[in-house]
Amino acid sequence: MIRIKDIKIREDLLEEKVLEKALQKNRLQKEDVKKWYIYKKSIDARKKEDIFYNYTIDIELKDKNKEKKKRTGKGITMAATTDIGIDLGTSSILVYAKGKGIVLKEPSVVAYDKDADKVRAIGEEARQMIGRTPGNIMAVRPMRQGVITDFLITERMLRYFIQKAMGRRAFRKPRISICVPSGVTEVERKAVEEATYQAGAREVLIVPEPVAAAIGSGIDITKPCGNMIVDIGGGTTDIAVISLAGTVVSNPVKISSETFDQDIIRYVRKTYNVFIGEQTAEAVKIRIGSAYPRAEEKTMEIKGRNVITGLPATITVSSDEIRGALAQTTNQIADAICAVLEKTPPELAADIADRGIVLTGGGSLLSGLEDLIESKTGINTMTAEDPMTAVAIGTGKFIEFLSGYREE
C-alpha cells in the first residue's frame, strides 16, 4: 500500500482523472494498480480565478511492483511498523521501535525563546545550552520528578522526538506506549496521555515504570513469583514488588540521579565556597562518585566560580568526600527498599530473597550502590544488563506482551 499526496485537479475535471494524474506524477502504470481509493479531498479557493481540488489517495500495488515503486515513486510513503515505546524521563527521553530496538536517546531539554515565543533547540543541542543562554532564552526540562510541568513544551518535545524516531514520511500515526512513575495521580497520568495524543499518536497505552523496567530487564512477570525492581531514574526512584504482571507493593520516592547531582553541588559550595554547574556535578558523580567505600580512592580536579570573589576557581575533590556528600540520599534509597520489603507478603518476600533485587535506571550505575543495598537488606542485589535502556525497551515491548498475555 502506498499513499500519494498533493494531486491537484482543476474544478472542471472529473474525479476519474485523479488516478490518471497520480500515476503520471509518480511514473506508475495502470496495470500496476490492484485497487485504489481517495483518502482525503480538500478545496483550495484562495484565488477565485484559479480554484482546484487537492487529493490524497491510497493505492494498493500488485506484489511484483511494491519494492520497485518504493524506490522510484516521488511523493510516496510506504506503510511501516508504527508501534513505539517512549521512556519520557526527567533527564532523558528514549524511544524504542518494534523490530529496531532503541532508535533515539537524547536529553529531555528544550531551549525556549521567551521573546519570540519559539522553541530554539530540543535534545542534545538544548542540553549544551544549560547555564550558557542569554536572558531571553531558557534551557528548561519540561518534566520534573516524572510528571509534566509545562504541557505545551512537553507536547512540542514529544512531537519532535516522535518525528525524528519514525521519519517525517511516516505512513500512519504511531501506536505509542509511554511510561509513568507508579505514584502519579490520575490528573498527572491524563496529562501525559493527552500530550502524547497531541504530539501525533493514534493510540496511547500508559505503562507503570516498574512493570516496564521488569520487562526490559528480561524478567518474566506473568508467573506467580515475586520480583523486586528498583528503578532509579532522573526524576524519581520507583521501588516495586511485581507478580502476575501487576504491582503488589510499591513505594515511589522523590529521589533520583538528579538528586545526586544536587548533593554534590551543595557539598562543593558549602565546603569550598565554589559554585559548580549541573554538568560538572554529573561528571564528578560518574568519575569518582560512590555509595560504598572504594578499594582505591580517586581524586578529580573541577572548575567553578568562587561565591565570595566571583572569580573562576579550581579545586580537587576525592571520592571519599563525594561518598559522604551522597550518603544521606543513598541511605534513603536503601531505607525505602527495606520499607517495601516489610510490607511484602511472606511468600513473595521469600521469592525475592531467592531471586534478588534488580536495579535499573541511570542512577543504578553509581559505583557501590549494589553493595550498599545488599549490606542493608541482606539480599543479593544486581544491576540489569543495560539499566539505562531497560525501561524504554520494556515500554516498547509492553504492547507485544499485553497481546500475548491476553491470548493466554
Q: What is the reported pLDDT for 345? A: 94
What is the rounded CA–CA span in Å between residue 190 and residue 68?
44
Q: What is the reported pLDDT for 131? A: 72
- C-alpha angle with apex 406: 227 to 189, nearest 5 degrees? 65
What is the rounded CA–CA span in Å between residue 170 and residue 192?
23
Predicted TM-score (pTM) of the model is: 0.73
Q: What is the reported pLDDT for 77? A: 39
Give the chain's residues under pLDDT 70.
Answer: 1, 10-16, 25-27, 39, 45-51, 63-81, 168-171, 402-408
What would the pLDDT profile of 241-293 be if each residue is shown by its tens digit?
999 888 999 998 989 888 999 999 999 999 999 999 988 999 999 999 999 99
Q: What is the reported pLDDT for 147? A: 81
Q: Give me the half-sphere count of Cα atoms (radius 13 Å) on the Cβ side of residue 115.
A: 4
Q: What is the reported pLDDT for 171? A: 58
- 203-208 and 246-253 beta bridge pairing: unpaired
What is the phi-psi region of residue 167: left when phi exceeds 0, alpha when psi lies from -120 to 50, beta otherwise? left
Q: Smallest Cα–Cα separation from 81: which of 93, 99, 58?
A: 99
**Which amino acid is it at 404?**
G
Matching CATH topology for 2-78 and 83-210+395-403? no
- Which fold is adopted by the domain 257-326? Actin; Chain A, domain 4 (3.90.640)
Place domain 217-254+335-389 in its CATH homologous superfamily.
ATPase, nucleotide binding domain (3.30.420.40)
Q: What is the reported pLDDT for 383? A: 94
For the chain, what are the domain ranges?
Answer: 2-78, 83-210+395-403, 217-254+335-389, 257-326
Q: What is the reported pLDDT for 11? A: 57
| CB contact set of 335 (below 8 Å; sequence gap of 6+) | 376
Task: Enter the C-alpha cell of residue 106.
Answer: 537524547
User: Which residues lie across from 304 on neighbouring strands?
Assistant: 313
- The CATH number of 83-210+395-403 is 3.30.420.40
- The CATH number of 2-78 is 3.30.70.2700
What is the rounded CA–CA span in Å between residue 32 and residue 42?
26
